[in-house]
């Protein structure tokens, strides 16, 4: 199954992320190496949200990531949510018709 972790970023996210970026990316690399995090990145123009795609049997890995993320802990993320994504087309689709 696929889950999207959706971050709503603060207005000063770009200015403040530098201090926490290496720890955030290390956490992301660890999740990727475990096979949980498939893709991740911020939307641009404007940089107001970030989307992280997880592959797991439950939303727990995405929720755990947010709970441990220095961006969340240090207030760069205004709000976050995890949503199940029913993927049906493409090589990585989890819900084939």
Residue at 63 is within a domain: yes
Residue at 67 is within a domain: yes
Segments in 17-58 forming alpha helices (H): 18-33
Rounded to two decimals, the pTM is 0.93
Asked if omega into 46 is within 30° of 0 (cis), the reply is yes
Measured between alpha carbons, how far is 80 from 70 in angstroms, rounded to an integer?
13
pLDDT in tens, 48-93: 999 999 999 999 999 999 999 999 999 999 999 999 999 999 988 9
Number of domains forming the structure of the chain: 1
Residue at 37 is within a domain: yes
Measured between alpha carbons, how far is 31 from 18 in angstroms, rounded to an integer?
20
Residue at 76 is within a domain: yes
pLDDT in tens, 5-40: 999 999 999 999 999 999 999 999 999 999 999 999
Mean pLDDT score across all residues of the chain: 96
Residue at 90 is within a domain: no
Measured between alpha carbons, how far is 73 from 62 in angstroms, rounded to an integer?
15
Residue at 15 is within a domain: yes
Q: Are 39 and 91 in contact (CB under 8 A)?
A: no
CATH number at residue 20: 3.30.70.1060
Strands (E) in the chain, as ranges, are 2-9, 37-42, 49-55, 77-85
């Amino acid at each position: 199954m696929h889950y999207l972790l959706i971050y709503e970023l603060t207005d000063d996210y770009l200015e403040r992320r530098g201090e926490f970026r290496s720890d955030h990316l290390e956490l992301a690399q660890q999740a990727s190496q475990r096979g949980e995090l498939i893709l991740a990145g911020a939307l641009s123009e404007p940089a107001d949200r970030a989307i992280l795609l997880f592959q797991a049997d439950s939303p727990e890995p995405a929720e755990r990531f947010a709970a441990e993320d220095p961006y969340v802990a240090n207030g760069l993320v205004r709000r976050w949510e995890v949503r199940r994504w029913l993927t049906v087309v493409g090589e990585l689709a989890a819900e084939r018709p």
